[in-house]
Amino acid sequence: MGTPAQESDNFVVQLGAAEGAEEVSLLEPVPPDRQLILSFQQINGHVPVLSIGNQRGLVEKLFKRKKLQDEEKAVKKPQARQIMHDLTGECRPGEVLALMGPSGSSKTSLLSVLGGRTPSSLTMTGEVLYNGEKLTKKSKRNIGYVLQDDVLYESLTVHETLYYAAMLRLPQDMSKAQKLDRVDKTITALGLKKCQNTIIGGFFHKGISGGERKRVSVGHELLMNPSCLLLDEPTSGLDSTTAMHLVVTLRQLALGGRAVVTTIHQPSSRLYQQLDKLLLLSEGHCMYYGEGQKAAEWFEKLGYKMPYGINTADFILDLASGDVATHKLKGEGTRQHLIQCAEKYLGANPGGFRRDGKELTEKTMGRELWAAAQSRLHLYDSQKGSFSDSPRASMDVEQGSMNAAPSGSGRAGGSLKAGPRWGAPYWLQFRILLQRSFKVRRFESLSKWDFGQYITVGLLAGLFWLQKGQNPTVADAQNLRGLLFFEMMFLSIRSMIGALLTFSSVFKMVVKERASGMYHLSAFFFARMASDLPVDSTLPTIFIAIIYFMAGLRYDAWSFFANWASVILVMLTAQSLGLLVGALVTNPKIGQTIVSVVALSMVLVAGFFVQGIHAWIAWLKYFSFIYYGYNLLQKIQFHDTPLYDCGAAGAVSSPQNHPDICTRLEDPSAALNLQRDANEWPWEPLVLIGWMVLYRLFVYLALRKRTKSKVR
């Protein structure tokens, strides 16, 4: 059993093979006043069950069939299903507590409860205490939590990932040099030195290996030097050697005065020996709790002797799955019986089965359970056989409960200290997140495919409207109206569709980082918006310039920059609407449908395709940013510009030189049937800015609601 290394200033982790291994100072030990004792008592959990009975009201309204109602009553199921049953235990500084069990045994659910990240769908009762106190948002900064899925930015390198985490999470009283030193120590100690400049990678970009990704996730939490570290299946997907190195690292971290709790699936025999304590779960029930190395002895005393040459972890997982049978009990009966034995023993010995605890006797287990265990041992020894697999069979066994609190409920370091709420001040958060946003988008921004698309479409449009703006005739002006509408619509619709998936790609990351208390959500939001502006405006600027000069629009600086600013403003407003739909709707297909319907509605009421809309529906145009943008672009192009009506001749080159066939018109608004007077003061930018700010405010509120971190 490990104990905190309080007497040393630091400790080391040995990496690689024994020969020529490198010893690296990992992290300083957790001082006694920051050490935590994690205890949980009588944890019960229920999840809702979707059944026909739950939907009865809807079915009755839609179909109103009595026969169906009778069938629903016949198959009605409970409204909730219990997935955790009176789970009790503790993990002290210097210990590694493993949560083991077959798939569906509620290991991850229990870990999320211990880390204060209980899902909203889970109804939980019981207490989770750290040094005898309940967890709060501020005190969660002392707790490290590693998810089973590696939620990392694919385009950042290993060093960048840990660097930005360090800048945001480490205390403000640490200098930048100290933070960088912490990053370097973490990288070296986790064996990531060789790949520190390699991107994390993903489906489209090759990056580091799965084992290295897992270690980066662990390092992300180690930067904070947490007093308690919770990990959800950190060895899943790793080979035995890599998994062993990771668990040895966790073991060394525990020796530094940390409480380490991890779920683990099918550990090797070497890996199993690194575990101090074990909580074996079977369908939400406790089947064993105590020292990891005493589990085989526990089950042997109950009459289930482990066959020679079998891995302890494999044997106890078979027991928890109900795949081990005896001559009197089938697999499911064995599982239920062992659960009853564990609950009976832990009811009197909440500290679990350990070397210095009470031995299993008839007095502690009761006459009936003890007699059954002795009978199985005698039968096993006489036949010199082993238990065999058998099909599962149900057996009703009265369930017990563990009502007592865990032993050793004393405090490790007194009251749990919260420390500062944020690791970095607000403006530093904004600056770091802004830098990270540019790095995160390094592959998707200014790509050769986007560049080619904008250039190709811009050149084609420029050729179609080639120098139409240099002939001040009514016919050419009508053509220019189509160009202005196309210029605005192409950028707006493309920006809106692209923005739809902006937050869906980083949603899990924001949830994870907010739960860890890395930054203010507003700092992330403003940094993301600020990074989007130059990136999303660069290629549209090139597109606008190509169209503007090839089409021969007004050749003066004010008109060019006014046209550019107006199109960019409309594009950003469209992007804001796309962001809002993406933040509100989780299903991308539904989001695309909503965006398509809204965009088409705004286009139809903007005044280009349909004019003279009936008054009872024409009011919709005031909700259309395209309506305001289109009118603004026409004002910029046609204000103080005389036009020539050349009648049947249509578009005539230099109409001012043909007074015999072309008549000068002083009012272009009437000639072109514009919705707004071209010489009117351009008030539309104020409305567009208002819509953009309103949309983005709703985006922020939606993100805040969806990513809100609750301690339960």
**Residue 5 belongs to some domain of the structure:** no
> What is the value of pTM for the model shown?
0.76
In this prediction, residue 687 carries a pLDDT of 94
In this prediction, residue 404 carries a pLDDT of 35
In this prediction, residue 304 carries a pLDDT of 82
**Residue 439 belongs to some domain of the structure:** no
Angle between helix 507-515 and 521-551 (nearest 10): 150
**Residue 3 belongs to some domain of the structure:** no
Q: At 73, which CATH number?
A: 3.40.50.300
In this prediction, residue 457 carries a pLDDT of 93
Domain that holds residue 479: 446-705
Residue 6: strand, helix, or coil = coil
Shared domain for 183 and 68, answered yes or no, is yes
Shared domain for 376 and 492, answered yes or no, is no
Rounded to an integer, what distance in angstroms lies between the CA atom of residue 453 and that of residue 546? 13
Rounded to an integer, what distance in angstroms lies between the CA atom of residue 617 and that of residue 628? 17
Q: From the centroid of its chain, how far is CA 313?
A: 31
Residue at a domain's end among 352, 383, 414: 383
**Residue 434 belongs to some domain of the structure:** no
Shared domain for 471 and 343, answered yes or no, is no
Residue at a domain's end among 365, 383, 401: 383
**Residue 527 belongs to some domain of the structure:** yes
Q: Which of 77, 88, 8 is nearest to 49 (CA)?
A: 77
CB-side neighbour CA atoms (13 Å) of 145: 23
Rounded to an integer, what distance in angstroms lies between the CA atom of residue 704 and that of residue 497? 22
Shared domain for 346 and 457, answered yes or no, is no
Shared domain for 377 and 453, answered yes or no, is no
Shared domain for 599 and 689, answered yes or no, is yes
Q: Which of 459, 646, 674 is nearest to 546 (CA)?
A: 459
Shared domain for 343 and 454, answered yes or no, is no
**Residue 176 belongs to some domain of the structure:** yes
314, with CB counted inside 10 A (0-12, 13-18, 19+), is middle
Shared domain for 74 and 179, answered yes or no, is yes
Residue at a domain's end among 357, 383, 409: 383
Q: Which of 432, 416, 419 is nearest to 520 (CA)?
A: 432
Shared domain for 479 and 341, answered yes or no, is no
In this prediction, residue 712 carries a pLDDT of 57
Tally of structural domains, the chain: 2
Segments in the chain below pLDDT 50:
1-24, 52-56, 58-59, 62-63, 74, 77, 382-411
**Residue 1 belongs to some domain of the structure:** no
Shared domain for 580 and 657, answered yes or no, is yes
Q: Which two tokens stand for residue 595?
A: 């965006």
Check: CB of residue 510 under 8 Å from CB of residue 582: no
**Residue 78 belongs to some domain of the structure:** yes
33, with CB counted inside 10 A (0-12, 13-18, 19+), is exposed
16, with CB counted inside 10 A (0-12, 13-18, 19+), is exposed
Shared domain for 104 and 187, answered yes or no, is yes
Element (DSSP H or E) covering residue 91 = strand 80-91
In this prediction, residue 365 carries a pLDDT of 67
In this prediction, residue 363 carries a pLDDT of 63
Shared domain for 215 and 357, answered yes or no, is yes
Predicted confidence (pLDDT) per residue in 336-369, tens digit: 888 888 888 888 778 888 765 556 666 666 666 6
